[in-house]
């Protein structure tokens, strides 16, 4: 082991007893850390508890992420729906304008039909009087 940095790297990655003994002999400051790790590993319930807690945190974070993603999707769909509703409202207004224009034309045609009917009646009366 060349320097302290190498010693720390070895400390973090090695699990071979021979390497651990060599590291402790050269760097006795690691003994208390190894004791903590050793005791932790001996008590599997504690290790599993740590693992279980980490899983809970991951699950919670995953749920939050999924909720955020769903909310984002809902917001996008709500915005799209709002746009569609605005377009439909514009089309409804345009149709209402066309309906009003058609109603005006129908009224004008009805007036012309009435005028033609009056003229037809007058022509028929004139023809009847000439005979």
Same domain, 104 and 128: yes
30 with 7: CB under 8 angstroms?
yes
82, 103: one domain: yes
Cα–Cα distance measured from residue 117 to residue 97, given in angstroms and rounded to the nearest whole number:
30
Taking only the tens place, the pLDDT of each residue in 26-80 is 889 989 988 888 887 777 777 777 778 888 888 899 999 999 999 999 999 999 9
Say if CB 48 and CB 56 are below 8 A apart.
no
Residues 36, 63 within the same domain: no
Residues 55 and 96 occupy one common structural domain? yes
Domain of 71 in residue numbering reads as 46-131
pTM of the full predicted structure? 0.44
Is 24:34 a contact under the CB 8 Å cutoff? yes
Shared domain check, 62 and 106: yes
Cα 130 to its chain centre, rounded Å, is 85
**Tens of pLDDT, residues 85-110:** 999 999 999 999 999 999 999 999 99
Q: Same structural domain for residues 56 and 26? A: no
What is the number of structural domains in the chain?
2
* 129 lies in the same domain as 101: yes
Q: Are residues 32 and 60 in the same domain?
A: no
């Amino acid at each position: 082991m060349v320097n302290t940095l190498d010693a720390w790297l070895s400390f973090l990655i090695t699990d071979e007893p021979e390497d651990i003994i060599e590291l402790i002999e050269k760097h006795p400051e690691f003994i208390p850390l190894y004791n903590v790790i050793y005791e932790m590993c001996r008590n599997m319930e504690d290790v599993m508890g740590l693992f279980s807690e980490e899983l809970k945190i991951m699950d919670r974070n995953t749920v939050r992420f999924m909720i955020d993603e769903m909310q984002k999707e809902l917001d996008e769909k709500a915005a799209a729906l709002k746009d569609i509703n605005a377009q439909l409202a514009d089309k409804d207004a345009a149709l209402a304008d066309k309906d009003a224009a058609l109603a005006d034309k129908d009224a004008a045609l009805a007036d012309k039909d009435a005028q033609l009917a009056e003229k037809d009646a007058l022509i028929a009366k004139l023809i009847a009087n000439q005979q």
